[in-house]
Structure 1
Amino acid sequence: MRTPRLVSAIERRLLINYRTDPEITARLLPAPLRPQVVNGWAVSGICLVRLAGARPSFVPAAVAGLGFRSENAAHRIAVEWDTPDGIALGVYIPRRDTASRLNSWVGGRLFPGRHHHSRFDVRENRDELRISVDGPGVDVHVRTATDLPASQLFRNVDHALEFFRRGAAGFSTTPDPTRLDGLELVTEDWNGTPAELLSVRSTFFEDPARFPPGSAIPDCALLMRDLAATWNPLPPMTVRPTTGQLTRTNR
């Protein structure tokens, strides 16, 4: 049976972006994926998103009025790979987390994307946001800003938003090491605001066995709010064990 599309409202999407060493990052990727490189760095990070009214596209919109919301997180690495039509862009997702037990059950079963169930602590207002996730050891604190502060990855907010818009296809790990689940975010509104990183902690990026000191550096943050989104299932991707492929492009 064909997996249906999901529709939802993204009430808040916070992208915490790291610049990571391309060679070290490549070692974390299964073939045929390789890291995208921007200004000499791979682009990695954490997406922290609150969804509302998520439902299969065939379910009437009135069901979304029940008010179901969920906090979710995904560790991501911007990647590219070769296809018969040229180079494709997207993100590799080694881990997904959710505060919703429902999401953790249906993810990887009824819909693409296996989720770990984790506890989220969110404190926010329109100008400041702090989110901690206990499972993957994440704690971020940001404040909205007028410009993208001191990023070595992106020239400005428009450059950053265009980069992520072009790589909206996400492929996440499954219990089968030779297969990745695929899911694409589609939204007509890619507007966002820059955010200042007041503090950031991630055991994924701070693990010296994964990223030696100096190879994973917090770079910048983007905040998006109130987006109508569709999540399109993609065909699973067949992969091979991690080989440490280097990137071919530099954007």
Structure 2
Amino acid sequence: MKPESLAALVALATEPWGLDEQELHARLSLAGVEDPGSALRALSGAGLVRQERRRWTPTPSGHEALRHAESLLAASQDPSPSSSDMEECPSVPWLTQVQTHWVEAVSLNYAVDPERLARILPAPLVPELHRGTAWVQVLMSSLRDMRPQGVSALLGVCFYQVSYRAAVRYRNARGEWRRGGYFVRSETNDPVMRRVGNTLDEFRFHEFGEAQMVMAREGDLLTLAVDPEARFAGGRLVAVFDTRPRSEPPVGSVWTGLEDLHEPLVECYDALGVSGDFVYVLTIDRAPWNARFCTPVELYCEYFEDGPLAPGARLDSVLHLTECAYRWRPLRRERHAP
């Protein structure tokens, strides 16, 4: 369907009683359509609109064509479209389609050795390389009012969470590559959220640990601390950041600016997990990250200094993130390539 015909169909569909030809031409002219009459004739010839009592309205076929156009447009803008053989499989739909928002968060962007990362990923996931290296982000956030969608924020849960998200990809059974993030480690300071997370399918691909956590601000300085329980050793994190926003990356970063790292490290909406012949995809619909580079004043991250990705892990940059709303889609899965 041509853009001018689609514009005419949208204009008519928004008016329950239709529009006369003069009104329709006026609206389309304001919208920049150069030949409104041609658009109307094309729709009429295709049986998508009809005239009754001198007013034009969409036919049932016109409404169907408009719904089809809307679905195509939505799919073209979807950062995580479903493949033809992908199926929904939420564990508890009313509970796991949640909403929350970040009050504040930081992203520590580590460049890591691809071979070392590959050793801790479940097949068929493999590291996604950018600038010749693999990447793991430490995302520590202050989450507020997490609750099922439609439930009052007064019943939401507030807690801290730290996740180690590796940039990965896999090939599905159709031979198509799909990218996402795999959490090689996660902790929360809320024991209830930990138990819920480790019970639901949406989180069963790695074990959530439990830790004492704090995020404290004094002026522009933001202090983070994570002290895991003994059975989740290896994730101690202590840091102080100067959060005054910087538009330029630090010296030594492989990125030239925020736009440069946007697609590789920021535009990641899918959390991936593997079980049997399936890759499970949990997609987050969220507002754009309001991210700026910030400066580490002090930083110790045990996982990269003494953990499975050491030696060779290198802190590339740190992003400071402010308010951001999140909603979860139903869990999906698809078969991966053998």
Please classify the TM superposition score into its range, dividing by the shorter chain length. 0.7 to 0.9
Bigger strand fraction = 1
Deviation at 1:67, TM superposition (A): 6.7
Unaligned runs of 5+ in 2: 1-90, 229-234
Select the residue among 10, 21, 25 that pairs with 2:117.
25
Question: Secondary structure at 2:202's aligned position in 1?
Answer: coil
How much does 1:36 deviate? 1.2
Deviations 1:9-60 (A, max 9, x none): 111121111111112222221111111111111111211011111111142x
Deviations 1:201-221 (A, max 9, x none): 22221226x2343x1011111
| Sequence identity (%) | 23
Equivalent residue for 2:269, pick from 143, 163, 168: 168
Tell me if the contact between 1:89 and 1:166 (Cα under 8 Å) persists in the aligned partners.
no
The match for 2:260 among 144, 159, 163 is 159
Aligned to 2:14: none
Q: What are the equivalent positions in structure 2 for 1:66-105 lying under 5 Å apart?
A: 68-83=157-172, 84=174, 86-105=176-195
- The whole-number CA distance in structure 2 between the counterparts of 1:21 and 1:153 is 15
TM-score calculated relative to the size of structure 1? 0.81
Higher helix proportion (structure 1 or 2): 2
Matches within 5 A, 1:206-217: 206-207=305-306, 210-213=308-311, 215-217=312-314
Normalised by the size of structure 2, how large is the TM-score? Answer: 0.62
**Contact 1:12 1:226 (C-alpha < 8 Å) held by counterparts:** yes
Partners of 2:261 and 2:225 in 1: CA distance? 24
- CA gap of 1:51–1:13, structure 2 versus 1, over 3 A, is same
CA 1:178 to 1:43, structure 2 compared with 1: closer, same or farther past 3 Å?
Answer: same
SS in 1 for 2:162: strand
**CA–CA distance in 2 between the matches of 1:105 and 1:180?**
23
3-state SS of the aligned residue for 1:30? coil
2:290–2:323 contact (8 Å) kept in structure 1: no
CA contact (8 A) 1:157 1:193 kept: yes
Deviations 1:184-210 (A, max 9, x none): 2221322211111223222221226x2
CA RMSD of aligned residues (A): 2.7
Higher RCO, 1 vs 2 (CA within 8 Å, ≥6 residues apart): 1
Match status 1:120 vs 2:209: no
2:239 aligned to which of 115, 140, 154: 140
Q: Secondary structure at the match of 1:118?
A: strand
The structure whose Rg is larger is: 2
Pick which of 229-238 and 187-196 moved more: 229-238
Match of 1:200 among 294, 299, 306: 299
